[in-house]
Structure 1
Amino acid sequence: MKTAAIICEYNPFHNGHKYHIMETKKKTGAKRVIALMSGNYVQRGTPAIMDKKIRAHAALLCGVDLVIELPLFAAASSAPDFAMGAVALLDKLGVVDYLSFGSECQEINKLKAIASFLIKYENEIESGIKDFMSLGHSYPKAKELYLTTHLKDASMIQILKQPNNILGIEYLKALIRLNSSITPVCVERIANDHHSTDLTPSISSATSIRSTLEQNLIEPLFSRVPDSLHDLYKHHYQHDFPVCSDDFSLLLQTSIHSTDDLTKIVGISKDFSDRLMKKLRPDQSFEDLILACKSKNITWSKTSRNLLHIMLGMTDSKFLLAKKYHMAPYYQILGFRRDSSSLIGAIKKETSLPMVRHLRPLHDPLEKEQQILLSVDQYAHQIYQAVIGQKFHTILKDEQIIV
């Protein structure tokens, strides 16, 4: 029985995500779908708007058979490390036949060609990017400028400007580097742009839906999410979501002041550390601080990730430990459908990865370095739960979601 995997955040789950699941099954013929989902913190450097259990439950109600959590160091990293962690984990499970991702470009061979080019000339490209960054350009802009002068096919430049294509190419690069047998499949992204803040009929971006929820408006959500999720979202709304970055403002300020050397945190340069301390004021929210610290050559997402890394104590030394495991030191099942027991059994038989439950070792022994990484995951989870407890006076239970 063929199994497809989708790397996701479902922040929150909406109609476009259901379409992706359906198209994945149609394109691959897979009978089973695994969602490898970020936990309570996401790649753009923010807390997820909903607890991971709500998002896992939503996925299981809409066609996913099994939801596995992507460990924190991968989930809160830049695109290359996010992709490597996700693909490495899927590869180590030993049961995944297809990796399906959304993209604006539907020519998988062209995406593969770009991925191969980027790997082959990686050193030259990075050197060229640094030259452009020294002129004051951000990393994405510097990369675009360098590749514009070195890629003969102009259409490839346009492909590299589109957000889903960029992440899809990182998945393909990871598959190549790992010599993985998983077959990549792309599903066309439909409706509005990934970063669009405008609500559109039926299918809207997660960005636009989050923006609406953060304004304490839930009614516009219902026409843009599957009917099967209406009761779930109504039940949890204002009980334990929405959660936003600014709910963590005091924790961020405390972490900044209690960190002896900010340059020991993942992604923090001396220049960024100096800029942060210069801009820091006691009345600033998380979002205010992002806007104060972002600049011409450092993006909003990079800035937000840096601040998140500070708040969660994600140091360079621990990041290097995560790299040792290709950002995938263990796996955790967040939820599953009752009829997927054979899939879980197959994973246990095929994988060499240790499994944890509720971010605690279960039956599989962990190496000391895996335990260190798990402790960071645990701390991040406890902080998220504490914020929900303070904001909504709700205590979340550690439980697997079974549908």
Structure 2
Amino acid sequence: MKATGIVVEYNPLHNGHVYHAQQARETSKADVVIAVMSGNFLQRGEPAFVDKWARTKMALQSGVDLVFELPYRFATAHAPIFARGAITLLDAVGCSSFCFGSEDGDITPFTNSLSLINQTETVYETVIKKAIQDGRSYPNALKEAYTSIQDNTSQTQLADLTKPNNILGFHYMEAAQCIGSMMKPTTIQRRGADYHEADLHAHKVASATGIRKSYFSTGSMDEMEPFVPQATKDILFDWQAERGHFGNWETFYPYLRYTILREGPIRLASIADITEGIENAIYRAALKHDAFQPFMAQVKSKRYTWTRIQRMLTHILTGFTVEQRETMPAPSYLRLLGMTGDGQTYLRSVKKHLTLPLISKVATLSNDSLTMDIRAADLYAMALGNCQHVPKIGLDYLTPPIRTHHFGSNDSK
């Protein structure tokens, strides 16, 4: 059987994501689509709208055959590390290709851009280093370095690396090259709203950002209904009935604030991504503000993007330290969250050839990275609260991989 891979967050899964999975299958002529999906905390440093189990159900009912969890260390990292973790897992599970959505919609510009950066690596890295030393954010440093090497080439068909999906796509290709993967990269044109677009429009494809904004501003799921498949609607309605609310920083802020004030600046300095004394600014803001938005407004500066600060806060909440991060240079397992019948058949056919251990029960592996995943899931569940008097702490130990016979049929809750 032939497999193609995609990297997803599904926060939540919407019509554009269904199109991506369909096109990945069709363009690669694959038998199965394999998704590497972030857990309960995401790449932009946010709690997920709903947990990884709910999003796995969405995926399996919307065109995906296998879902593996991207470990916390990679799921909450900046783009190059995020991409490296995801591509490593897709390669380890035997994908012959991977497919990403992009603003360009053509793989040639990405191939050209990767080749150009390889040819000018010394200059490129020097510009990045100097820009960061001068106080530029990492994304702006990358933009400056890329612009500088573009000025010295006659190649005109290059990827626009100011666009969020193009940036991630480029890093996926860069990661595949770095690990020596034989997977073929493919891309499809992103349809509808831009990645960060916050408004919902008349077309049937909206951004996940817009969908979440709509819910949190109205408290209703009515506006989002045209933009998500039936499986997502059903799962979100069930979640709302059980939990009453969805994941965001406003809900999580009391736990974050408590952690910041308990730890104090000295201990905060040991947390991953905390640098250059920003722990003091974070501590002072937590002392003053009892809501997330004014807290962030005080901490935010030109040197640190909103996303970078959110990643710091995620690590503070979960207690993820610099020392822990250094012990996790690459993914060390394949954590299975769910599968269709075709996905299960594929796994059986490649099980002996997997290059990382397959984990379907977390009790079978003692691993620092897996322990971090479990801790993050438990803290997420605690912040949202239990539903219907059923404890949600320890779900990683209690929940087997979700199985569906085919899209739209779920036989495991």
Please report the TM-score for the alignment, with normalisation by the length of structure 1. Answer: 0.91
Is 1:320 equivalent to 2:323 in the alignment? no
Q: Are residues 1:376 and 2:381 paired?
A: no
Counterpart of 1:193 in structure 2: which amino acid?
Answer: D
Q: What amino acid maps onto 1:198 in structure 2? A: D
Determine the structure 1 residue equivalent to 2:273.
267
User: What is the match of residue 248 of structure 1?
Assistant: 252
**2:98 aligned residue:** 99
Counterpart in the other structure of 1:163: 164
**SS of the counterpart of 1:261?**
helix
What is the identity, as a one-letter code, of the residue corresponding to 2:356? L
CA distance in 2, matches of 1:18, 1:293: 37
In structure 2, distance between residues paired with 1:381 and 1:111: 35
The corresponding residue for 2:63 is: 63
Give how far 1:85 is off.
0.5
Of 152-161 and 80-89, deviating more is 152-161
* Counterpart Cα distance in 1 of 2:259 and 2:119: 40
Matches of 1:33 and 1:281 in 2, distance apart? 47
1:364-386 CA distance string (max 9 Å, x none): x54xxxx2222221211111111
Helix, strand or coil at the partner of 2:149: coil
Distance 1:382 1:88, change over 3 A: same
* Aligned residue number for residue 285 of structure 1: 291
Paired amino acid for 1:257: L
In 2, Cα distance between equivalents of 1:128 and 1:272: 24
Asked if 2 retains the 8 angstrom alpha-carbon contact of 1:115 and 1:170, the reply is no
| Map of 1:51 onto structure 2 | 51
Once the two structures are overlaid, the 10-residue window that deviates more, 251-260 or 331-340, is 251-260
Match of 2:144 in 1: 145
Q: How many residues align?
A: 392
Equivalent in the alignment of 2:410: none
How far apart are 1:154 and its partner, in Å?
8.4
Q: Does 1:126 align with 2:125?
A: yes
CA distance in 2: counterparts of 1:381 and 1:347, whole angstroms:
29
**2:65–2:340 CA contact under 8 A, matched in 1:** yes
Deviations 1:77-109 (A, max 9, x none): 00010000011111122x211101000112312
Tell me if the contact between 1:203 and 1:224 (Cα under 8 Å) persists in the aligned partners. yes
Q: For residues 211 and 80 of structure 1, what CA distance do their matches in structure 2 show?
A: 27
Distance of 1:354 and 1:287 partners within structure 2: 42
Q: What is residue 329 of structure 1 aligned with on the other side?
A: 332
- Check if 1:236 corresponds to 2:248: no
* C-alpha distance in structure 2 between counterparts of 1:98 and 1:305, whole Å: 30
Task: Give 5+ residue unaligned stretches, structure 1.
Answer: none
Specify the code of the residue in structure 2 equivalent to 1:343: Y
Q: Is 2:36–2:70's contact at 8 Å kept on the other side of the alignment?
A: yes
Q: Which residue identity lines up with residue 243 of structure 1 in the other structure?
A: G
Q: 1:46·1:305 contact (CA, 8 Å) conserved in 2? A: yes
Equivalent pairs: percent with the same residue? 31
Partner of 1:349: helix, strand, or coil? helix
User: 1:279: Cα distance to partner?
Assistant: 2.9
Deviations 1:22-63 (A, max 9, x none): 111121111211111111110000110011111110111111
Distance 2:242 2:199 in 1: 26
Contact between 1:69 and 1:331, CA under 8 Å: does it hold in 2? yes
Deviates more, 1:195-204 or 1:137-146: 137-146
- CA shift, 1:74, in A, is 0.5
Per-residue CA deviations over 1:214-261 (Å, capped at 9, x if unaligned) read 231201121101134332222222423511112211221232234343
Do the aligned partners of 1:144 and 1:157 also contact (CA within 8 Å) in 2? no
> Would you say the 8 A contact 2:110–2:159 is kept in 1?
no
Q: Per the alignment, in what secondary structure is the counterpart of residue 224 of structure 2?
A: helix
Hey, what's the Cα distance between the residues in 2 that align with 1:123 and 1:239?
54
Mapped to 2, the partners of 1:231 and 1:82 lie a distance apart of 30
The aligned counterpart of 1:35 is 35
1:6-45 to structure 2, matched below 5 A, reads 6-45=6-45
Aligned residue number for residue 403 of structure 2? 402
TM-score, length-scaled by structure 2: 0.89
Deviations 1:106-162 (A, max 9, x none): 231220221233345444323312333444432222332333232136867770100
Give the match for residue 382 of structure 2.
386
Distance change in 2, residues 1:373/1:231 (3 Å): closer
Matched position secondary structure for 2:6: strand
